[in-house]
Amino acid sequence: MAKGFGGRGMSGMGGGMNMNMLKQAQKMQQDMMRMQQELQEKEYQAASGGGVVTAVVNGRHELKSLTIDPEAVDPEDVEMLQDMIVAAVNEAMRSADADAASTMQSITGGLGLGGLGL
Cut 0.75: pTM above it: no
Number of domains in the chain: 1
Is 115 inside any structural domain? no
Provide the pLDDT for residue 117: 46
Q: What is the pLDDT along the chain (118 residues), one digit of tens a residue?
A: 555 454 444 445 555 678 888 888 888 889 889 988 999 999 999 999 999 999 999 999 999 999 999 988 999 999 999 999 999 999 999 999 999 899 888 877 756 555 544 4
Domain of 55, in residue numbers:
43-107
What pLDDT is recorded for position 66? Answer: 96
C-alpha dist (Å) from residue 112 to 75, 86, 99: 50, 32, 17
Q: Which of 66, 60, 63 is nearest to 48 (CA)?
A: 66
What's the Cα-to-Cα distance from 27 to each of 1, 24, 54, 93, 99, rounded to whole Å?
40, 5, 38, 29, 21
61 assigned to some structural domain? yes
Does 31 fall in a domain? no
CATH number at residue 103: 3.30.1310.10
